[in-house]
Amino acid sequence: MQASTIKVWTWVHKWTSLVCTLFLLMLCITGLPLIFHDEIDNALNPDTWRPANPDGPYLTLDEILSVSLAERPGEVPIFMSFDIERPVVNVTTGPDENSPASQMHFASFDLTSGDIVPPADRGESVMEFILQLHTDMFLGLPGMLFLGAMGVVFVAAVISGVVLYAPFMRKLEFGTLRRNQSSRLKWLDYHNLFGIVTLAWVLVVGLTGVINTLERPIIDTWRAHELADLVTKNEDGTSITKRASLDIAVKEAVLLAPDMELQFVAFPGSRFSTSTHYAVFLHGNSPLTENIIVPVLVHAGTGVVAGLREMPWYTKALSLSRPLHFGDYGGFILKFVWFVLDIITIIVLLSGLYLWLTKAEAGRRSGVRRKTLSEVGQ
């Protein structure tokens, strides 16, 4: 590689790294507890709850819906979701179907009795603070897009670092650590070694992080095109005077995709359904497909299934990027690997910042010496 080319790539690596380093450090540090969010939640909220009638029959979804609305007079149902491990149904209500999140009420109900299940919310405020800082720095969509841009700059820094790795290490064996040399050379070797070892992981986490920052535009695009198309094809303009059984509607939707499992229901008028349909969302039943969701529309007045619609590629990419970003699909061992690689990435970022500061300081001292010699010569 020619010296001029190396100089250009060095400039790219230097400035892309400087632009994103502080934000990447924040993301890496806040990402550490988020990797183990399930384990932290379980430790802070031990599973002491037991169903009222563990051997008894389950209530129907219609009965659970009636109980939840009785608890919130004057409100309407917006979403219903289902606990995977416990006989618990979660119901979200609000003043109307388009209520903002701040006006929604979330409650969990025992499927064996209809009793309210105490919320497992110890430590929730801290984890929510960390998650929001990691996601958008409390700036909403502008914050998400800004962090996405920092992710793109970070990927550019990684790629430029890879390009520079070969010419700078051509005279050294892989993994060489010059511990007996200056502190700066020693940390340069650590920076290069840890950077190249974690290359694949860093690119995966960086790119999935960028995709995650586009969640709102991706969902809005799906609603504006795919969901709007479903509405156009299935909206008949008639008002619903009496809703069909929710329990039967869900069972019919599940029968349409027997290889999938129930995830949540969006009620008519909510942002994920039409004004006249239940939108029953199903997900895959394997580790590779459990984050891929598929909506089934069921007419809320007649109970007739309108059809199943595959999600477009961009929403599938979003669904797959979330667990991949946090290592949340392979159990505790994979999470621990993610944790170790995150720590190594923090070391790479800090060592890069140290190398830049020491080089800048050396340059400043050299300038001072040249100025002093010039003054002596005069």
Q: What is the pLDDT of residues 283-319, one digit of tens each?
A: 887 766 777 888 888 888 888 888 777 788 888 888 8
The predicted pLDDT at position 376 comes to 45
The predicted pLDDT at position 85 comes to 83
Q: What is the pLDDT of residues 230-257, one digit of tens each?
A: 767 766 666 677 788 999 999 988 888 8
The predicted pLDDT at position 349 comes to 93
C-alpha distance across the termini of the chain, in Å: 43
Torsion on CA atoms 218, 214, 158, 188, rounded to nearest 10: -150
Give the residues of the chain that fall short of pLDDT 70: 1, 172, 174-176, 231, 234-239, 287-288, 361-378
Amino acid in the structure at residue 319: S
Distance CA 355, CA 337 (A): 27
Q: Are 295 and 279 in contact (CB under 8 A)?
A: yes
Amino acid in the structure at residue 188: L
